[in-house]
Amino acid sequence: MAQIFRPQKRSQQLAAVQQQRVHGLDHQGRGVVRGEQGVCFVAGALPGELIKFRPHGHYEAELIAIRESAAERENPPCPYYQQCGGCDLQHLAYAQQVQHKQRVVSELLQKFAQLQPQIWLPALTAEPWHYRRRTRLAVHWDGKQRRLTLGYRSRSSKTIVAVSNCLTLQPQLNQVLQPLQQLLPRLKAIRGLGHIELIAAEQTLLLARFTCAVGDSDRALLQQFAAQQLLQIWLQCAEQAPQPLLAEQSLPMYRSAGALLNFLPGDFLQVNPVLSEAMVSQALAWLQPQPGEAIMDLYAGSGHFSIPLAQAGALVTAVEGVPSMVQMLQRNAFNAGVTLEAECANLEQPWQQFRWHSQALNKVLLDPARAGAASAIHEIVQRRPQRVVYVSCAPDTFARDAAVLKQGGYQLREIAVVDMFPQTHHIETMAWFEREQ
């Protein structure tokens, strides 16, 4: 008789609660414990603590109780902290947050590149609360109950946690939240509203993304709201680029090393303005741009680093992959009264196809996205600039790229953690590499 394989049904029973001591923090700020089935990662647990936890899957576990607390544990001041997915380190004292982030960078550099810097600079820090000048809010409209939920996604879920005040947002953004919750249900296009972005630049901005057109009556309500709240409103409908609600609105601006730079809502903008400027100062100190010196600024955005470098007299070639940001970079250079070459290119493609690929190159600054510069870093090494300053928002890809620089004959002179995102595990890093003679 034929044997038919019938897979066993997975047990619906919850795993047994275990008790163990936490050995450390992983790179995402989770406690590391060694349970009966091996290593587990427990969000909310701290090194040295004796905890009860319940495993979920192979590596994740849920914190059930803390039997012995670490001295570094703090009571999170945010009432949404246990549900909201925005912050994940409020339970750790701030000084220890910074130490943890430096330790993560050091461990990853050793793991991927067998590399440590000659000098660790003190971390660049600022106020650990009310620092964010930009945020994205999720929106859900329940048409049957005519109820709006505006806030942030919960941890590992699509559920939205309604938020009326966020301790990481700048005050002018928090002031908009409750009036916004009252306005949005009045819009006829509410069913097509995807999400809201708030930006605190030289003027407060609101970018609303819709999957549908926005009618005249809704535009009138939004215009009235903008006047009441003293802010600019931009709309992005379907696949169109963001457009100002009022045609006569001027382009928004932010400050970088004393210069006022234009940007478009939706374009990349560092969330922490104080540390954003501190990074420019540190980059200038490391690069020491000289008049007539050829410097490339890669992943240049709208000119955050390029404009100050050009103001110092360097011959700057700024390369960015987003066409609208290249246009903004050119505009900002003109407004600042500096000359530079602004190029649009995908830096992960072979550089030989670009007209600027054979230009002389003394120094390089690169500030890639989380994916790092897997291809571009090899192109940089081939051109042998004397100095490379690398700005990173992902320590794992930074360590991977640092290994390429090391193999290419570069020493890691100095490095600093930039705590751009306090209360979260996210890490920004700046590093200075120098080619050996």
Residues marked as catalytic? 393
- Residue 67's identity, in one-letter code, is R
Closest to 134 (Cα-Cα) out of 267, 236, 279, 262: 267
The 3-state DSSP class for residue 390 equals strand
Q: Are 187 and 218 in contact (CB under 8 A)?
A: yes
> How many CA atoms lie within 13 Å of 310's alpha carbon, on the beta-carbon side?
26
Kind and range of the H or E run holding 178: helix 171-183
Distances from the Cα of 188 to the Cα of 68, 144, 183, 348, angstroms: 53, 15, 11, 43
- Angle, CA 344 vertex, CA 415 and CA 428 arms, to 5°: 20
Burial classification of residue 46, based on how many CB atoms lie within 10 Å of its CB (0-12 exposed, 13-18 middle, 19 or more buried): buried
Could you tell me which residues come within 8 angstroms of residue 116 by beta carbon, excluding any fewer than 6 positions away?
106, 109, 110, 412
